[in-house]
Amino acid sequence: MQALLPSAAHCSLFSSSSSSSSSSLRKLLGRQSSCCRTPRTLCCTTERDPQPVRANHAGVKLEESVSGSEKIRIDSWISSRMRGVSRARIQSSIRSGLVAVNDRTVDKVSHVIKGGDKVSCTVCELHPLRAVPEDIPLDIVYEDAHVLVVNKPSDMVVHPAPGNPNGTLVNAILHHCRLPTVACTINSRRSSKTEGCTSDDEIDDFYGDGSLVEESKSENTEALVRPGIVHRLDKGTSGLLVVAKDEHSHAHLAEQFKQHTIHRVYISITSGVPSPSSGRIEIPIARDPNNRIRMIAASGLNSSRDARYAASRYKVLEVFAGGGSALVRWRLETGRTHQIRAHSKYLGTPLLGDEVYGGTKNLALSLLKPRISSSNHSQLSCMISKLQRPCLHALSLRFKHPHTGEYLQFSCPPPHDFSEVWSQLRSVSDPTSNNEMEDEM
């Protein structure tokens, strides 16, 4: 894949700092200029399943008593007992009334069980949302028989939804895998809350199941396919995303997300500069009661029923225009809906171009114009007016291969729109104010 480095601006009076920007990208990417697999293998151990994994778990039953004295969520406990079945599939079974505790049906995934409880579970059939393969180009970074790593463009939704069934990453994956017709599982009740904004969240918040297994469905050999999206990125977020090709891989990758062992690094451009320049944010996130497509991060949410624990680490890499903007690196410890966007807003520095979370064009201009030469004001306005999405990019991804046990690591530079903004902000900044930091968080 061709590396997209900061280039000359469309606004003619901006000068491009291509050489310094290219140097910065190499430092961020560990001196890699394009999407690539880390050449050195970090772990060579191999994991083998003692038993073959079934492609379709519908109808599989579990009947077992809970041991020990600790209390635990029922979806988590069943997932730990049914290896190879995704947690989302278990949650769907619970909501479908196929799980009982002490012979009483339970339909809440958060139901708490304790030692001595007798649990029975039947894995449900999947309830599909129709979708079709589409010939949409994919930027494939890595692929084998079990996983697929793609570089998602900033204008693509990851998963079909009732209001957005076409043109998604899933549609593109289905065409790439040569599958003739699909049915994507989705919980329409929950997806309606986030219609139009696919999010980056852990698997226990995902609305469907996760495999790319073809099954015979009818005489015309239509396929029933569950796209294996393990995690997601917002429509406006570009960068790296891993997809599971089978349910076994999906379950193993989901467990890595649950245990926070998947390493994810993002970069963003903020309106203003976070203070302090580096730190850890441990603030729960819940849905904003006043806006269904927005999340809110606040310490007072600890007692909220819908609040989810969330933790992010950040570091300012470079300051632009005397403090009007900054390049910030993020490392996620959890993966909640809109986590970086909500935590960045909590710091008082929303992402540049993030209209939903306050990173408006007016805010950017009010912070930048007083700090740059008036001769550059019109060019600055031109640059800001072209922003069509939050300046956020999934820069690197590291995970353990679900079948071989090998650690894989990938990095990918930001696309043209992001790198162009970066370059242009540099060009209007006093060079002595740029404060690039190379130390790791």
Token pair 């909500």 in the structure block, residue: 342
Nearest in space to 329 (alpha carbons), one of 436, 199, 201: 436
Cβ count within 10 A of residue 204: 19
Using DSSP, state whether 351 is helix, strand or coil: strand
- 78 vs 5, 67, 265, 297, CA distance in Å? 47, 13, 31, 30
What strand order describes the sheet that includes 104-105?
61-65, 118-122, 99-101, 104-105
φ and ψ of 297, to 5 deg: -115, 120
How far from 85 is each of 29, 75, 251, CA to CA, in Å?
35, 11, 6
| Alpha helices, H only, 259-305 | none
In DSSP notation, 151-196 reads: EE-TT--SS-BTTB-SSSHHHHHHHHTT-S-EEEE--HHHHGGGTT
Residue 330 CA to its chain's centroid (Å): 13
CA distances from 313 to 227, 280, 282, 374, 441 (A): 30, 4, 9, 36, 8
Task: Identify whether the C-beta of residue 322 lies closer than 8 Å to the C-beta of residue 332.
Answer: no
The residues assigned a catalytic role are 234
